[in-house]
Amino acid sequence: MEKLKVSKNNRYFTYQDGKPFIWLSDTVWTIAQRLKWDDVEFLMQKRKSQGFTVLQIVALDPEQDKEIRNPAGEKALIKDDLSTPNEAYFKYLDWVLDKAEEYGFYVLFLPVWGELVVGHNWMNEFSEKIVTEENAYLYGKWIGNRYKGRKNIIWCLGGDRQPIHLGVDYRDVWRKMAEGIAKGVLNRDLLYNVEDPDWQKLLMTYHTCFERETGECSTMSYWTDKEAWISFIMIQSGHGLEPKNYELVKKEYERENTMPVFDGEPAYEQMPTSWPPSSSMDYHGDWMVRKRAYWSLFAGSFGHTYGHSSIWPMISEKERESFRKYSWFEALDHPGAWQIKILRDFLESRNISQCIPSQEILIRQNEKLENIQDEHNQACIEKDGMFACVYFPSGGEEVIDISKLNKRQLQMYWFNPRDGNCYSQENVISKEAINLLERVKTDEHRTTIQIKTPTRGKEEDWICVIEPNDTNKVLPGKSQVYGEMLVPKEVKKVFVW
């Protein structure tokens, strides 16, 4: 595998030759702690076949197991001391990372989960702070050196916590860890607040949480541009119903200091819609997965992350409960995951990395007095006017300004993100064939069309693609094969320490 880099316009990731990289990630955070080798291979083959390209993995995570053990029961830290990592534990993590590379996955890699820094979990329980300002640098140096030869690792600090937590400022802990990683990987004494082109060789971000009190949920919520180690922005739009990730992405996309931005932890499939969980609550389905994905991508995100409430902690059959009704094995085939495959097909057929968010082309939505979230249509347009895309989360009608599009004959497609089918309009659209709508003010600078989705209503989402008519172009979302299942399905799915 070759290392990724940030594009010249600081909007997305590319391979070394400049080809855009399609970032579609899964939050398999605890895979090295919870899954045996045969299950690891099964999961990776499944995710490969579903079009995923990135895995989000954490080295040390106490949320499912405070002892932080691997499937063999080997603790990550001898005597819970960050300065004495257990080689047996990390050898298995090495093997997991080897397999990720073998299957072609890049890894968004967290050295530690934030709970180990702040000593506080989401059940309001307090514990020892294992990662401190005194040991963060040396651990960062150690783990950076261990994985310095791997080309598929993208670094991530934080781990579901703000750098200021319960009024305590932990930013210097993370800064020292970043500097330690730089020393371990590059053998350079880089300073967190001094610009150096070598920081871009690490590709590093910060994974925050969604702060319910303030709504803050971005890498840059509590950091500034003086943090030279941060090279891209991760949003956690979170698991509630209210966050509008298209607005969160837009805010970061429009920053003066441009950096790539993505929603790295949106609402997970089968996650409770409110917290703490109760027996009467609703759960996020595949519609929420699709909404957060297409909203953020068309709003300027360079990629997207999928998550499932049973997969990030790798819930076994014996651990199923009212909160998590499925095992990780069952959850792999849930609809939202397969719709990531459909999303990958769509992104392979149309280069969204070259698009610019373009809400101004949505005439009717801009005239609405109120913005109902599930009626929010999100638009983008290719920078040279080669195509435009509009996502309708609930279907409906819209008036589109097509003045910025290439002036040749235009064809309109309806792409169904639920099943991957694509439908074309009966007639080719051209400027001459369009009668400007009487109820839309038009002038010599604007040409508009009115469109209506094939269906509308809750969970009836559609994507409209308008582009020059070209018989040689593949249909939006043409299905492709990304990987095959080679490991037998009858894998052992439960382990006991």
Per-residue pLDDT reduced to its tens digit, 297-349: 999 999 999 999 999 999 999 999 878 899 999 999 999 999 999 999 999 99
Least confident of 242-256, 392-406, 424-438, 474-488: 424-438
CB atoms within 10 A of CB 372: 8
What average pLDDT score do residues 352-373 get?
A: 84
The β-bridge partners of 107 are 55, 153
What average pLDDT score do residues 422-445 get?
A: 51
What average pLDDT score do residues 412-439 get?
A: 66
Sign of CA dihedral 29, 34, 36, 42: negative
pLDDT above 60 (res 54): yes
Rg (CA), the chain: 23
- Evaluate whether 66 touches 33 at the Cβ level (below 8 Å): no
Distances 211 to 153, 163, 219, 240, 427 between C-alpha atoms, Å = 27, 11, 12, 11, 49
The two structure tokens encoding residue 164: 């200021």
Residue 194 is classified by DSSP as: S
SS3 content of the chain, % helix, strand, coil (to 5): 25, 20, 55
Give the pLDDT score at 439. 35
Give the pLDDT score at 443. 55
Give the pLDDT score at 163. 97
Distances 244 to 168, 215, 288, 366, 458 between C-alpha atoms, Å = 28, 11, 11, 17, 17
What average pLDDT score do residues 48-65 get?
A: 97
Closest CA to 206 of 237, 169, 174, 243: 174
Closest CA to 244 of 339, 52, 341, 377: 377
pLDDT mean across residues, the chain: 91
pLDDT above 90 (res 448): no
pLDDT above 90 (res 193): yes
Chain center to CA of 22: 11
Distance, in Å, from the CA atom of 66 to the CA atom of 123, rounded to the nearest integer, reads: 13
Strand ranges for 99-186 from DSSP E: 106-110, 153-157, 164-165, 168-169
pLDDT above 50 (res 436): no
- Evaluate whether 241 touches 209 at the Cβ level (below 8 Å): no
Least confident of 50-54, 270-274, 380-384, 389-393: 270-274
Distance, in Å, from the CA atom of 189 to the CA atom of 173, rounded to the nearest integer, reads: 16
Closest CA to 357 of 375, 373, 374, 376: 376
Give the pLDDT score at 189. 98
3-state secondary structure at position 319: helix
pLDDT above 50 (res 435): no
Least confident of 183-187, 313-317, 362-366: 362-366
- Evaluate whether 314 touches 40 at the Cβ level (below 8 Å): no
The two structure tokens encoding residue 128: 């020892």
Q: Which residue has the higher pLDDT, 322 or 208?
A: 208
> What totals of helices (H) and strands (E) does the chain contain, helices first?
12, 20
Give the pLDDT score at 264. 96
Give the pLDDT score at 352. 96
Band the pLDDT of 484: cuts 50, 70, 90: confident
What average pLDDT score do residues 14-42 get?
A: 96
Q: Which residue has the higher pLDDT, 448 or 54?
A: 54
Band the pLDDT of 460: cuts 50, 70, 90: very high
- Which domains does the chain possess? 5-349 (3.20.20.80), 354-468 (2.60.40)
Give the pLDDT score at 433. 38
What average pLDDT score do residues 11-30 get?
A: 97
Distance, in Å, from the CA atom of 209 to the CA atom of 222, rounded to the nearest integer, reads: 11
Per-residue pLDDT reduced to its tens digit, 251-309: 999 999 999 999 999 999 999 988 776 666 799 999 999 999 999 999 999 999 999 99
The per-residue DSSP string of 321-385 comes to: -SSS-S-HHHHTTSHHHHHHHHHHHHHHHS-GGGEEE-GGGBHHHHH-SS--GGG--EEEEETTS
Give the pLDDT score at 170. 98
Residue 132 is classified by DSSP as: -
Per-residue pLDDT reduced to its tens digit, 139-183: 999 999 999 999 999 999 999 999 999 999 999 999 999 999 999
Give the pLDDT score at 428. 43
